[in-house]
Amino acid sequence: MRILVVEDDVNLNRQLSEALREAGYVVDQAFDGEEGHFLGDTEPYDAVILDIGLPEMDGITVVEKWRSTGKGMPVLMLTARDRWSDKVAGIDAGADDYVAKPFHMEEVLARVRALIRRAAGHSSSELICGPVRLDTKASKATVNGVAMKLTSHEFRLLSYLMHHMGEVVSRTELIEHMYDQDFDRDSNTIEVFVGRLRKKIGVDLIETVRGLGYRMQAPDNVR
């Protein structure tokens, strides 16, 4: 899962980014509204954390521009605690949720998880596919109750496939959501990670859809 953090406070941007990376997300950073708008307009993100009070272009304008061009990624707006009007303006502009500063990092992480789940059509923090369970809160996966030992890339791959269970996901889409913008992307590595995941899961849950990509679904639905 790939997140964009748009916050001009360098320390807060760093703290948010570090917490998200520790939680297993890929993170891109922007420090003003114009840069944030450009990244959100040109790169695919599973969620965006966006401050309202940004230089160059304020957060309200950024989210309005995204929505006007059909960008639908979930947006969590950061607002000042005593400015209720900013919260209303953010939601009306197209933000999906907000957190008032100062905030607890765990609240931000919880809201990001919820936004990503809802965007993918899931209501629970635990995703289940056959014997595989993914705890999005704890960033852990199990098979038949036994914890899986996954690398960061394997976890990201499994997480994305399980958030999009039943859907065909292309290699390009997986690459875009598993690596940040500066990573040297190689589509061949996806096949390697899929192969490793299949061995660790031990059940045929990840289907190769020839010419299109991969689909993860429960055994009863696997063709």
Interval 5-45: pLDDT, tens: 999 999 999 999 999 999 999 999 999 999 999 999 999 99
- Which residues 6+ apart lie within 8 Å of 15 measured at CB? 105
User: Band of the pLDDT at 173, cuts 50, 70, 90?
Assistant: very high
Q: From 31, 37, 38, select the one nearest 16 (Cα to Cα).
A: 31
205, amino acid identity:
L
Assess whether pLDDT exceeds 80 at residue 117.
Answer: yes
CATH 1.10.10.10 in the chain: give the residue spans: 126-221
80, amino acid identity:
A
State the average pLDDT over residues 175-186: 74
Assess whether pLDDT exceeds 80 at residue 219.
Answer: no
pLDDT tens digits for range 41-82: 999 999 999 999 999 999 999 999 999 999 999 999 999 867
The whole-number pLDDT of residue 223 equals 43
The whole-number pLDDT of residue 221 equals 53
Instruction: Tell me if the pTM is above 0.75.
Output: yes
Assess whether pLDDT exceeds 50 at residue 160.
Answer: yes
Residue 171 to residue 71: CA distance in whole angstroms = 21
| Residue 50, burial from CB neighbour count under 10 angstroms (0-12, 13-18, 19+) | buried
Domain 126-221 fold is Arc Repressor Mutant, subunit A (1.10.10)
Residue 83 to residue 190: CA distance in whole angstroms = 45
Q: From 145, 117, 120, 121, select the one nearest 133 (Cα to Cα).
A: 145
Residue 26 to residue 65: CA distance in whole angstroms = 24
Q: Which residues of 7-21 are buried (b: 16+ CB within 10 A; e: fewer)?
A: bbeeebbeebbebbe
Q: Are strands 2-6 and 26-30 parallel, antiparallel or unpaired?
A: parallel
Torsion sign, CA atoms 130, 136, 140, 146: negative
The whole-number pLDDT of residue 222 equals 46
CATH 3.40.50.2300 in the chain: give the residue spans: 2-119
The domain made up of 2-119 is a member of CATH 3.40.50.2300? yes
